Structure formats: C-alpha cells, structure tokens
Structure 1
C-alpha cells in the first residue's frame, strides 16, 4: 500500500472545502474518423491498464484523518464504470464539444471507485470523434497524467515525462584525500545551504504576501457548480519565431498572450487593468531527469510561483519582456524553494494536523491569486489511437480555490494549445479570452518580423516595471 503525500492529499482537502468544485485535471483528444468499435476500444484500454496499477486502485480513508489516505487495489474493479460513450448533437461543432467538456469536468469523480474516467465522444463534424479523460489531481500532476494517458491510449507512448527546462541532478562528488579540498568543499556546501535558506525565507514571504494582498480585479471569488470551456490553438512555428527573435521561452510567449487577452477582458468588463490585477499561480515541475526510474510516477511533484502578469501594460512587446523578467525574478526569488520546503515539512507532521490546516485555510476567502496558468510539455510528433490520428490534443485545468478561470497549456506536434476552464456564471466571455490568446500570439509573431522593434527590447527592460 502507498500513502498519499501531503500535497496529493491537499487536493482532496481543497475539494472537500467547496461543494461547487471538482479537482480533476483532464485532456481531450480529437481524432479522425470513423470511431472504432466501442467494445474493441474498451478491450484495448482494459489490456493497457495493467501497466498502470494506480488506475485500478481506490483510496482508503482513515477515520478522523488519523493517517494519510492509502491506495489499495479495487477488488470490484469494472472498466465499464470508467469508460463511457456519448454523442454531441448536430452539427457537432466545436461549441457543442466544448459544452459537453464543461459539463463532464463540472462533475466530481466517485471516490468509491478509481479516480478516473474516459468519455468516447461521437457525432463530431468532419467525420471526427474524441476521447476526453479526467483524472483526480490527488493522483497525478500534469506531467505524470500526460505520461499515464500516453501509455493508455497511444501506440508509441509518446507523451514526454520531463520538461526540457528541468535541471539535471548534480553529479556525485569525487573522493579526495586532500584535507584542503575537504575544507573547500565544506565551505562551498555551507554557503550554498545558507543561500538556499535565505532564498526560501524570501520566497515564503513573497508567497504569503501574494495570498494576503487582494488582487485589484473581480476575476476571483466564489464559484458555481457549472463550467464553461474554450480553447485556443496557435502555430508552434509562430511561437518558436518569437522565442528566437526576442530571446524568450515558450512559457514566456504563452503567458504574454494570456496577459494581453486578460487585459482585453478586464477592459471589456469596464475594469481598469492595474499592476496588481492578475497575480497568477504558475506551477513548476520538480521532477528529475528522464533517467530517474521514478520520474513518471503517478503523484504530484510541483512547486509554485506567484508572479503578477503585466495587464497594466498596453504594448505587447512590453508585456512579453516584462513577463520574461518577472518569471526570471520569481525563479530566483526562492518561491519554488519555499513552496517545496513547505510541502516537504508537511509530510513530517501528523497527517491529521496538516489535513485540518489545509481544510481550514481552503474555506477562507482567497482574493490574492486570480488565475492559474500551467504549462505541460507534450509530444512534437503525431499520436494515434487504434490507427486513428490525433489531430488536436487539448489540456483541461482544474478549477478551485475561488479561481474563476484557469488556463492549461500543452504543446502537441506543430501547435500550442490553451485549454481554458471557467465558472459558468462569472466568465461568460471565456470564448473571447481564447480568441484573444490566439490573436496575441499572432501579433507577437508579426512583430518579430519588424527589425527596429527587436533593438528596443533592451531599452524597454530598463523602463518597464
């Protein structure tokens, strides 16, 4: 039996604190038709699920939280409880698919069964069909969920496990008989530990301040139990062109596009975009290298950064450069180290204390963080399910902790896809948010072809906050 970590169990506590939310993450694959025989697809999944034991396990909850929940084999496992078949009404367009996606993601998973389900969706236009899979966040983060789904559906198992930005583990120190080298090594080690400690304290202060200070917008608050879903798909060639021209990362471009679209959303709602309007939760993967045998284990290994996205800036290049600088600052500020240390420390105290604390804090009003933006690396080649090509792969983020919108980003083949889940009552303009993201990336791609603007970025970095 394997126990949930404090972080894994925290997603259960967050869900328990608000009856209107579901802490499930998901993905939707759109494929060329015709759809395969449903029974044959179930047989395929049943066969491959043997390689993913977690998908056949249920949670055993200890009375009064006297111990962490445990994963145990489900003796009554029945795959037909988890794989469903549904059709969208004609004409089977994207709007119909998005409405169904929102409805499915709005419902909680049954904790009496393994915490996942797949929906085979038929009736899509252009002779297409789709598979939507949702997994509870207590089981996996975005990276490990992508790996699990890749092994479950794709013949090549092509979804990557580790982000290319993940640092490689330090090499083991070599032994030496020279005492001067011992002293030098000890001094370097103590200095590094002290620096990390100072960084962590500074990062903890920033995270605490970000949670306490209310954001200058109405984009967060209580949510209903209904959802809206939209997605934006942009050319990876355009993103790569922007990255190469302006010396930024794919994540910088994605967050800059989200910034510009949220700025338009605020203005359309009659709100003035301010510097403190869009504090964003940006998860960071803590998984090791692909050579680590546990790199793809089904669990959560993430830290958090809480940068402000610069919705107060009107110029797209200013937004891009400011996002790049703020993310760099956040990475060096100790926020990741602080959140990682906090999670590690939570594993050392009695589970009942950590569970009750998370549950109590989850019930408090949270006005500091406005949205979530999580980026999961995907395959740069086409996937297939039973010989049918996946023409679109879109991520679906969770929605909780009084966030009314959340954005997940996934690279797939020659596209970068943004999946947006939002509260039905408070985000009727979610389609405009998706359109704005695609428009912002296209505009940055156009600007990357303008020679004189690239030389101005160095100056902009000095004058933009």
Structure 2
C-alpha cells in the first residue's frame, strides 16, 4: 500500500463523518482528574508535554481534505495552519470549583461537534477545582482513532512514572497544502492501482445519496411495521425512556467506587468484576424505571451491547483496533433479587466465553501506557457499527492498578464519556484504575433530565449487592460518591 493510500480514509471512517449530525456527534470524550505537584500546575510545561507526544502520532496534526467532485474518499492531510493552542484550551472554574460545575461544563463541551476544517480533537485544561486539582476534558472524533495506526490522546499523555523526561525539540513544520489538482491526481492514481481504490471511488460517488436512501428505506420499514400491527390487532411496541429522538444537548453523571467492593461481591457469588458491574447497572435501571412508573411487566429485559476483548495472542498496544468485538447480553430488569440478576448476567457471559476467546482483565490492565482510553474509543466504534437491536451500551475496560502521571501530575480519576447512538438516550462507560472504579453516564438532556437519578439508583444497586456479600444491613455506600449536574 502506498503512502497516499494509507492516508486515505477508509469506508468506515467516511461513514462516521457522513452519518454525523448536530444531534448525534460522533465523538468520544473523557474527564481525567490530575493532582499537580506541590509547586502547582504549570500550563506551559503541560503544553510542551502535549506537543512532544503528538510527534509520535502524526494523525493528530492532520485534517480531513475532501477530494474535488468527491471522486474518491477524502484523505488525511497535514494541517498547514495547525495551532496547538486552539486544540489545547485553557479554562477555569470559580474557586473552589465543584464536580457539579465541572460536569455541567463537560456536558456542554461534549454536546458541540468538532470543527471539520481542523484536526478532529480538542483538550480542555480546566483549573480551579477544589483541592487544587486540574481536569483534562478530551474530545476526539471516532473517525480519528482506530486503535491501530492511531491511539487515543490520553494514552499518549500518561506515563507510569512521575519523572518527566527531556522534551525533544519538535522539528515538525506544516507543509505546503496540497492543491485540488494534486488531490484529484492522487485519487486517480489510487483508483487505478488498487481494487479498494476503485471500490472506494464507486461508493464515494453516491455516498450521501446512499445514506439518504438507506434512511428512507428504514423509515418505510418502521411505518410498514406500524401498519401491520394495526391490521393484525397486535399492540404497538411499548415506549421506553431508553429510546427517542435526540436533542443536541447532553448530561454527564459520574460515579466512583472501591474496586475491592466489586471483588468482594465477585468472591461471594462467583462470576467476574464485569458481571458485578453489569448487575449493578441492571439493578439501577430497574429502580430508575420504577421511579418513572414504567411497568416492568412490559419492560422485563433491556438488551445491552457490551464490547469485549476477544483475542488470545499477546496484546500489541499498536493493534488494539482489532481486539474488541460486540457481545450482547439481556439485562433482567424485572428480576427483584440482586443475586439472581447477577447470576443471570454471569450465565450470559459464561455462554460467550464458551464460544469466543476472551482476554483476562489482568492482561488488559497490563498493557503499557493507559490503554483504557483507546479501548473505550474502539468500543464506541463497535457499538456505533452494530446492526443488532439493543437499548443500552455498557463499555467496561480494566485499567492499571498503579498510578499514572501526566507531565508529572498524578492521575486520580478517569471517567470515559461515550457518545449516544442515534435514538439511544443513555450510554455508560466504566474504567477501573488504581483501586477505584469510575462510571460515566451520558444522557440526552431533554429525554433524560433525571440522569443524576440513574446514577443514584446504580449506587444503591451496588450497595444492595454488597449487603448480600457481607451479610450486613443496608447503609450508605462505602467509598462511593454520586456526582450530578447542577440545575436538574
């Protein structure tokens, strides 16, 4: 494959760009909380750290260039006006800033689509948090990170030691922009030298039209299903707060818990930590649906998509893109017993393990750097590409249990913010790191204004499971904090 062909967007990447709307931006975000050293946070040094790491992944300095006439897929081209200070933005909360204020700001950040005329990522450095902590809010387009040639920005920035190595002078300079004639010539060359190029050209010619035809066909299919139900007397599908027409605004809710509590539940009842996480989510959904007076006779199960790792060779950090595949599990929200819910979830994954080779949490957590960031990005792509009918995506990625550092500042919390798929009102990302488990719930602001209640219900469901493991009576969740947006 030529250098030009390698820089041309693949069909799946073009699909992420073509299918994006203001209500459904295709981007994955995260909140990383760092604790600076005693001398305080040095923004200038952090900016140099980011610039140093970008040299390892050229894609972060490239933007999408459309070929004139759309005779071929677009290409990744060096941004001749690349401005690091545009992408790394400094902000602050009124001291002492609270998590409520940070999450309100993060919700607004993730609601806005990225600028297509620039490299498809942003990083917000937010100072002023209580305890002198600093938040790094990242936002990256799903077309940018594939887990193979490009890993997530957070994975690039984090080290396993607090010592900051010498910054190598970056000699990169923006090249002269390619002319339209060169873009066309490159497209023609790729088309005549590769079968994929010819296929890409043919598909590109009708890219937008094909998407519209597919959407119209789907609308007719849904309408036809409604007519069929009317003619046959079958009851229409019950409405669910997990589906709806999305707005352009998002809410972000976070939870934090002790990893030891999940392990205690696992050791008592069997299964895995991932099973316990899903059982807590199931119990939380059950309680939340009941607060909405949702009849559990009609919503007995919630089909969920859970991206999992399915390779058994030595994990190569440069090839994470092929390491994740979708697994579908039915969350038994109508089941009143927390232990039975856990066993039903565990059984589903036992069946999966019997038919697919999975990677243990220990091996995933042992990958160098901070691989959860890249795995979450790849997991979000798996969810977006799934044709399976599901209502909720839950992506849990085990991370390292030793501290990580960004330019000498210790990482103290990591919340993965997954995007909402079209028509889906909730998405949940989970990362375990340094003895803690971090949840981030993404919700549509209009359809799920009570998103903080979802987090509270998951908190209580976890405590209910912990009661069954310790034999104690109900008390406040130990080591678990529920954080919600203000104004809800």
Is the TM value for this pair above 0.5?
yes
Query: Closer, same or farther in 2 for the Cα pair 1:88/1:389, shift >3 Å?
Result: same
What is the 5 A alignment of 1:134-173? 134-140=139-145, 148-154=153-159, 156=161
In the TM superposition, residue 113 of structure 1 has moved relative to its aligned partner by 1.2
Which residue does the alignment assign to 1:303? 325
What is the 5 A alignment of 1:385-424? 385-424=406-445
Report if aligned partners of 2:23, 2:248 keep a CA contact under 8 Å in 1.
yes
Which residue does the alignment assign to 1:427? 448
SS in 2 for 1:126: helix
Report if aligned partners of 1:214, 1:368 keep a CA contact under 8 Å in 2.
no
d(CA) in 1 for partners of 2:425, 2:353: 26
Which residue does the alignment assign to 1:20? 23
Bigger drift between 232-241 and 434-443 goes to 434-443
d(CA) in 2 for partners of 1:98, 1:375: 20
Query: Closer, same or farther in 2 for the Cα pair 1:437/1:251, shift >3 Å?
Result: same
d(CA) in 2 for partners of 1:271, 1:264: 10
d(CA) in 2 for partners of 1:287, 1:79: 36
SS in 2 for 1:36: coil
Bigger drift between 101-110 and 373-382 goes to 373-382
In the TM superposition, residue 330 of structure 1 has moved relative to its aligned partner by 5.1
Query: Closer, same or farther in 2 for the Cα pair 1:54/1:289, shift >3 Å?
Result: farther
What is the 5 A alignment of 1:206-355? 217-273=240-296, 274=298, 277-285=301-309, 289-290=313-314, 292=316, 294-296=318-320, 302-329=324-351
SS in 1 for 2:91: strand
Report if aligned partners of 2:33, 2:134 keep a CA contact under 8 Å in 1.
yes
In the TM superposition, residue 135 of structure 1 has moved relative to its aligned partner by 1.1
Report if aligned partners of 2:91, 2:124 keep a CA contact under 8 Å in 1.
yes
Which residue does the alignment assign to 1:346? none
Report if aligned partners of 2:286, 2:333 keep a CA contact under 8 Å in 1.
yes
Query: Closer, same or farther in 2 for the Cα pair 1:36/1:26, shift >3 Å?
Result: same
d(CA) in 2 for partners of 1:236, 1:143: 30
Report if aligned partners of 2:24, 2:421 keep a CA contact under 8 Å in 1.
yes
d(CA) in 2 for partners of 1:279, 1:63: 43
d(CA) in 2 for partners of 1:287, 1:143: 15
Q: Quick check: 1:371 aligned with 2:392?
A: yes
Query: Closer, same or farther in 2 for the Cα pair 1:438/1:321, shift >3 Å?
Result: same
Which residue does the alignment assign to 2:34? 31
Query: Closer, same or farther in 2 for the Cα pair 1:312/1:412, shift >3 Å?
Result: same
d(CA) in 2 for partners of 1:315, 1:143: 42
d(CA) in 1 for partners of 2:388, 2:317: 40
SS in 1 for 2:421: coil
Report if aligned partners of 1:25, 1:142 keep a CA contact under 8 Å in 2.
no
SS in 1 for 2:326: strand
In the TM superposition, residue 235 of structure 1 has moved relative to its aligned partner by 0.7
C-alpha distance after superposition, 1:145-190 (max 9, x if no partner): 8764122243559xxxxxxxxxxxxxxxxxxxxxxxxxxxxxxxxx
d(CA) in 2 for partners of 1:261, 1:106: 25
d(CA) in 2 for partners of 1:292, 1:116: 24
Query: Closer, same or farther in 2 for the Cα pair 1:382/1:253, shift >3 Å?
Result: same
Query: Closer, same or farther in 2 for the Cα pair 1:291/1:32, shift >3 Å?
Result: closer
Query: Closer, same or farther in 2 for the Cα pair 1:66/1:252, shift >3 Å?
Result: farther
Structure 2 length-normalised TM: 0.68
d(CA) in 1 for partners of 2:344, 2:448: 26
d(CA) in 1 for partners of 2:119, 2:161: 25
Query: Closer, same or farther in 2 for the Cα pair 1:8/1:446, shift >3 Å?
Result: farther
Report if aligned partners of 1:286, 1:301 keep a CA contact under 8 Å in 2.
yes
Report if aligned partners of 2:98, 2:130 keep a CA contact under 8 Å in 1.
yes
Which residue does the alignment assign to 1:176? none
SS in 2 for 1:391: strand
C-alpha distance after superposition, 1:203-229 (max 9, x if no partner): xxxxx9xx9996762311111111110
In the TM superposition, residue 120 of structure 1 has moved relative to its aligned partner by 0.4
Query: Closer, same or farther in 2 for the Cα pair 1:224/1:286, shift >3 Å?
Result: same
Query: Closer, same or farther in 2 for the Cα pair 1:280/1:21, shift >3 Å?
Result: same
C-alpha distance after superposition, 1:90-140 (max 9, x if no partner): 541111011011011111111211111100001111222111111111222
SS in 1 for 2:422: coil
**In structure 2, which of residues 87, 94, 102 is the aligned counterpart of residue 89 of structure 1?**
94
Report if aligned partners of 1:143, 1:377 keep a CA contact under 8 Å in 2.
no
Unaligned segments of structure 2, at least 5 residues = 163-217, 226-235, 359-383, 473-488
